[in-house]
Amino acid sequence: GESVGLHLPTLSVQEGDNSIINCAYSNSASDYFIWYKQESGKGPQFIIDIRSNMDKRQGQRVTVLLNKTVKHLSLQIAATQPGDSAVYFCAENARGGGADGLTFGKGTHLIIQP
Amino acid sequence: GAVVSQHPSRVICKSGTSVKIECRSLDFQATTMFWYRQFPKQSLMLMATSNEGSKATYEQGVEKDKFLINHASLTLSTLTVTSAHPEDSSFYICSAGQARQETQYFGPGTRLLVL
């Protein structure tokens, strides 16, 4: 069936470097995408979102890029810090409006090395 | 703003007993809340959509008679795992969204261990 997936299960980067986490989705009807950060034993924390009518959105130290042509989503984290170590999930809402649950990708474990 | 709480944070129960988990939106009203389940080192899987004042909508493969959902008010949804078994041991997470906004905010999760 249709799903949201990730290319890399684990990503290790040096503190201070930039990191890029990728996500592929297969539902062409998806119109809203979100990145969440989940620390061990905690619930997902909203990072940034993007609608399908946009291809880039920036937040504080984070940027989300959306390429609808190849159905690809990425999260860029600038100047990584130890506190960025967590599992990152992309999620999709295919029908929008906030009335539907999200479909999550498999997750990428980001490890920040000192 | 947009804080979601869950209670309890963790629970251990014997096989065959029922466990109730509460999800509350603390500073906003949520007509819709969602329940997810997450097994170790896996992603979140949507179980059901909880609608205030009406029956919950369950995802395929989720037993509605086993996972009872009640959305009694605009700030409270409960998930009851009935006749729990060890395979129900998991991390249960709820989420809620504000009216006319797509962003969902997640609770801290409830760790259930069934012995």
Per residue in B58-80, pLDDT (tens digit) is: 999 999 999 999 998 989 999 99
Set of chain B residues whose Cβ sits within 8 Å of the Cβ of A105: 43
CB atoms closer than 10 angstroms to residue B1: 7
SS3 A6: strand
C-beta of residue A19 within 8 angstroms of C-beta of residue A35: no
Residue A9 in contact with partner chain B when CB distance is under 8 A: no
Q: Do B46 and A103 touch (CB under 8 A)?
A: yes
In single-letter form, the type of residue at position B33 comes to M
Mean pLDDT value across chain B? 92
Q: Do B102 and A105 touch (CB under 8 A)?
A: no
pLDDT confidence of residue B53 = 82
Higher pLDDT, B98 or A101: A101
- Choose among B92, B6, B1, B96: nearest CA to B47: B92
pLDDT at A104 over 50: yes
pLDDT confidence of residue A7 = 47
Q: Give percent of chain A above pLDDT 70.
A: 88
CA gap B94, B77 in Å, rounded: 9
Set of chain A residues whose Cβ sits within 8 Å of the Cβ of B102: 32, 49, 93, 96-98
How far is residue B6 from each of residues A69, A110, B11, B17, B80, measured CA to CA in Å?
39, 26, 12, 20, 13
CB atoms closer than 10 angstroms to residue A85: 18
Residue A99 in contact with partner chain B when CB distance is under 8 A: yes
CA gap B79, B84 in Å, rounded: 12
Convert the pLDDT of each residue in B85-104 to its tens digit: 999 999 999 999 876 677 78
CA gap B99, B32 in Å, rounded: 9
